[in-house]
Amino acid sequence: MPTGVAIRDVREQLFDAAERILLRDGPNALTSRAVTTEAGCAKGVLHRHFADFDAFLTELVQDRTARIDGQAAALRESAGTGTVADNLAGALTDLFGSVAVAIVALITFRDDLRARLHRAGSAGVPVLTEATAMIASYLAAERDLGRIAADADVDTLAPTLIGAGHLLFADRKGTPPEAEAVRRVVTTVVAGVVRDPQP
């Protein structure tokens, strides 16, 4: 590996390699050696930048979880446009069509990682917790606009949508669900609260 490479570039290179392994081979295949081999760097590089492999995984999860903030902002901005069902279906597809499902599997697979994440301040299952907050925030914005019922329980609807979305996408090796299947689930969950747009 050339000298003078910025630490952030090396970290991103390692994170991206870990993500590719997770998506391709699942959490069982994720080892420090597999990551450095996939990244095309010397075996000691990972340990020069992270205290140990669980520290690397903790930062990987935190980095990927932080990306949900951008998705959340975009989803909130879509309130009042399109349809509620289409906005939600798109958000679930973007979320679970990425590495999120594999990250959830990784967290549930590694007890030490889950413990470190909790010590670092993560609540619940990282990714799913942030995704639930993203959906709840969007639903609250739509409720404020009158596009869903004023008495809609967004704090129940959000985890219901996240759980249903996660189940649709959970088979990492299978074919991703079709857009219509995602939309059908969303439509069913929110059917009782969606209101016709106000003239």
Domains with residue ranges and CATH for the chain: 1-49 (1.10.10.60), 61-190 (1.10.357)
pLDDT interval class at 192 (50, 70, 90): very high
Quick one: which of 97, 100, 109 has its CA closest to 30? Answer: 109
Q: What is the mean pLDDT of residues 36-65?
A: 92
Helices (H), the chain: 7-25, 32-39, 45-49, 53-77, 84-96, 100-109, 111-119, 128-144, 154-169, 179-190
The chain-wide mean pLDDT, for the chain, equals 89
Among 42-51, 140-149, 185-194, where is mean pLDDT lowest? 42-51
Q: CA-to-CA distance for 29 and 15, rounded, in angstroms?
A: 15
Nearest-Å Rg of the Cα atoms of the chain is 19
pTM of the model: 0.85
Q: Give the pair of three-digit tokens for residue 139.
A: 């639903």
